[in-house]
Amino acid sequence: MTVSDLQARTSELTGVIERASSTQELEEFKLAHLVRKGSIAALFEDLKNVPKDTKPAVGKALNELRKAVEEKFAEKEQSLGGGVKKASQSSIDLTLPSRPIPVSAPGHEHPLISVLNEMVSIFVDMGFSVAYGPEVEDDEHNFTKLNFPADHPARDMQDTFFVKPSADWKVGSDVKPLVLRTHTSPVQVRLMESGKLPIRAVIPGRVYRNEAISARSAACFFQLEGLVVDKGVSMADLKGVAESFSKQFYGEDSTIRLRPSFFPFTEPSIECDVSCYICKGKGCRICKHSGWLEVFGAGMVHPNVLKMCGIDPEIYSGYAFGMGIDRTAMMRYGVSDIRLFTENDLRFLEQF
């Protein structure tokens, strides 16, 4: 094998390619010359028999041969349309539309928001308006004006998240720290302070408590508060609204029961339960075999609270209630761990 042999061979092979008139012929050429067991590979194999002194020149000529043949082949393949054929034979189909980006369905509601909205719309149908308030509150609205005594345990660091009112604030300073609201009740105070009476409002929103996080309790959850203040409002009105809400939300056949309770800002205070909608009061795992589900805390607005908000308790009276949304949503959808609501796992969220 000499340099001139290889040059002759180069023009011979490129000539064959040149004359090919179909992709079929090109394919045959490839199988004969370009594959691993083809004639060009055989020439490389022969290189070891070439005398040492001519080897560099012969090797160079052989590389040039291969390059020239491959280039000619690619060029011919293009001109015969083989290039397109090659693309369609490859495992990537460039004509396929791309896969959809996995997002929750557009406008998809979070299960907590669905439950909250459903509750709100029941109250709106009963003539309530919807009000909102800040999540970072001052002590006055979250506690003081709701008649919490100065030494109430809710004011303890163990129960409440405090927020420094300024960067240089220190514990023990005269200025009270701000809080992440521990309930939606401070918005009651804001509504009453505004002086626009009568009031008939529900207040949905997030609240925060310094809880040990578990399957049943989160440090941040949703509440729905209600407040009605007018002349001649009584516990009978509260009971009527509670009953109507329960029938609409838990089913026509549900019944309620009221138990005495305690909140600093209501007097008297009650706890309202609804008959378990799963077992219809017979007792099951969801209602812990009691036949009843706790729905909300409520009561008549304490005269001290009305006074502190500038409302004369001799003329006006009111009731308030507050319910947790997360546990209601857990029961409704059979969710066993409250943390699933906020972990943003699409496998969970897409089930709703």
Binding range to ligand PHE, per CB under 6 A, among 8-16, 116-124, 318-326, 338-346: 318-326
Separation between Cα atoms, residue 163 and residue 134, nearest integer Å: 13
Q: Considering only residues 58, 229, 298, 306, which one is a binding residue for ligand PHE as defined by CB under 6 A?
A: 298
- Write the DSSP symbol of residue 338: G
Separation between Cα atoms, residue 30 and residue 26, nearest integer Å: 6
Binding range to ligand PHE, per CB under 6 A, among 56-64, 117-125, 242-250, 296-304: 296-304
Q: Which of 70, 69, 60 is nearest to 13 (CA)?
A: 69
Q: In the beta sheet, which residues pair with residue 320?
A: 227, 299
115 vs 295, beta carbon nearer ligand PHE:
295
Smallest distance from ligand PHE to CB 190, Å: 14
The interface with ligand PHE within residues 65-124 (CB under 6 A) comprises none
Smallest distance from ligand PHE to CB 238, Å: 10
202 vs 276, beta carbon nearer ligand PHE:
202
Binding range to ligand PHE, per CB under 6 A, among 130-138, 237-245, 306-314, 317-325: 317-325
Binding range to ligand PHE, per CB under 6 A, among 20-28, 85-93, 275-283, 319-327: 319-327
The interface with ligand PHE within residues 113-152 (CB under 6 A) comprises none
Q: Which helix (H) or strand (E) holds 320?
A: strand 317-324
Q: Is 263 in the site for ligand PHE (CB under 6 A)?
A: yes
Binding range to ligand PHE, per CB under 6 A, among 11-19, 157-165, 171-179, 315-323: 315-323
Structure-token pair, residue 89: 């034979």
Smallest distance from ligand PHE to CB 303, Å: 15
- Asked if residue 65 lies in contact with residue 43, where contact means CB atoms within 8 angstroms, the answer is yes
- Residue 158 has φ and ψ, to the nearest 5°, of -70, -25
Structure-token pair, residue 237: 């009105």
Separation between Cα atoms, residue 302 and residue 291, nearest integer Å: 31
Q: Which residues contact 125 (CB under 8 A, 6 or more apart)?
A: none
- Write the DSSP symbol of residue 282: S
Binding range to ligand PHE, per CB under 6 A, among 66-74, 132-140, 274-282, 293-301: 293-301
308 vs 320, beta carbon nearer ligand PHE:
320
77 vs 225, beta carbon nearer ligand PHE:
225
Q: Which of 137, 115, 146 is nearest to 221 (CA)?
A: 115
E strand segments, 195-315: 199-208, 220-230, 256-263, 266-275, 292-301
Q: Considering only residues 185, 246, 254, 317, which one is a binding residue for ligand PHE as defined by CB under 6 A?
A: 185
Q: Considering only residues 10, 14, 142, 266, which one is a binding residue for ligand PHE as defined by CB under 6 A?
A: 266
Integer Rg of the chain from CA: 40
Q: Is 183 in the site for ligand PHE (CB under 6 A)?
A: yes
Smallest distance from ligand PHE to CB 327, Å: 12
Q: Is 320 in the site for ligand PHE (CB under 6 A)?
A: yes
Q: Which residues contact 335 (CB under 8 A, 6 or more apart)?
A: 111, 329, 341
61 vs 242, beta carbon nearer ligand PHE:
242
Q: How would you label 176-197 residue by residue, b for 16+ Cβ within 10 Å and e otherwise?
A: ebbbbbbbbbbbbbbbbeeeee
Separation between Cα atoms, residue 122 and residue 293, nearest integer Å: 19
225 vs 273, beta carbon nearer ligand PHE:
225
Where along the sequence are the contacts to ligand PHE (CB under 6 A)? Answer: 183, 185, 225, 263, 266, 297-299, 320-322
